[in-house]
Structure formats: C-alpha cells, structure tokens
Structure 1
C-alpha cells in the first residue's frame, strides 16, 4: 500500500503522540511530531530507529547529544537511557517493535501515548 508521509503528517497536529502508518515483521513505522523535551527513559528489550523527516530533532544521551536534520537517522540501542527533543516542531519517523510503549520504563505521564493508534 502506497503511503504519502507528507499527507499523513498533515493529518494531525499533536506532539509526542506517535501514529502507526505501517506494520511489518512485528515492527511499527510510526510518525510523530515533536516540540519540547521528552522524559528520560530506556527500552530494555528493543532498539529504536529515529529518522528525521522535517525540522531539527535531538536524541540526548547522558554523555552526549546527537542532532538530526531531514534525512538523517539514528538507532538507539536497547537498554540505553535517552530522551528526545526539538526546540521547534519536528517531524520524525520511528521504527520499533509493535509492543514498545513510547515512554519505555518512565512512569506513565501526559507523554505516554495510547498504543495502536493508526493514521
């Protein structure tokens, strides 16, 4: 099935609420708009891949920060504590196992997105 990423991003406005646009091999392809700073967390059993689509997006680790621009990506290894951030709105694709909760091991909060939401 063909997907227009631009159209899918245009269909929602909220930040930190990933939307599933495709699923394959037990993985979700999720779209998320970001602005501000997400809580520190880790995913004990899953890697996460972040691909910046639009804007500038940071993945912050305790000892360094990686800044991504459009077309750049990073894979966060399983079990590594991190948080994500963007000063202005950014659009990001996330590839991760379907069962992953976006806030990982952090306590539930307003950042904890409902699971299974598709667009």
Structure 2
C-alpha cells in the first residue's frame, strides 16, 4: 500500500513525478505541485489522466481553462496542448503511457 499524499511529501522537487506503479502499460505517477505551474506540452500517442488529490489546479487545454479541486478528474486527449497555470498547488495523481 502507498499513501500518495505522504509519498508526494518525499519528492525532492515540485513537478518531478515519481512512478508509484504500472498497469496495462500505463505509468501511475504522483506529483507535488507548487505555485510555479508548468509550460505547455502535448503527447501525440497517448491520453493523460489527471486526478487532483489535494489542493487545486488550473489547467489550460488549448485555451480552455479548467479549474480543478481535490477529487476532480480530467483526461487530456492525445495530441492536445496543455499546461498547468501558475498558482496551482497540492498533490496530483497522473496516469500516462510514457
């Protein structure tokens, strides 16, 4: 068993994910967010699922702003440019196929 909130507290740096498991070719990751946000990225070959465990996050998906709070889940479709805006903070659980 892994407590994802506790696991995120051990990460040495915000926005650096740690793979906590794998299932059916997907990576299960935990990320500690900070106020800095992250620049735009996209993944041509896979969707990316984001689940806010703690805190809040504003996601910009090709100009559409999505405000997320603890308990919210969103899937970024493959090929869509997305970024996390400044002011986001907390713990994020992410599933991708990297």
* TM-score, normalised with respect to structure 1: 0.75
Greater C-alpha Rg: 1
Q: Give the structure 2 partner of residue 74 of structure 1.
A: 74
* TM-score, normalised with respect to structure 2: 0.89
Cα RMSD (Å): 1.4
What stretches of structure 2 of length at least 5 have no aligned partner? none
Matches of 1:63 and 1:96, distance apart in 2: 22
Shift of 1:63: 2.5
Matches of 1:54 and 1:7, distance apart in 2: 11
Q: Give the structure 2 partner of residue 103 of structure 1.
A: none
Q: Give the structure 2 partner of residue 49 of structure 1.
A: 49
What stretches of structure 1 of length at least 5 have no aligned partner? 101-119
Q: How many residues of Structure 1 are paired with residues of Structure 2 in the alignment?
A: 97
More strand as a share of residues:
2
Shift of 1:53: 0.7
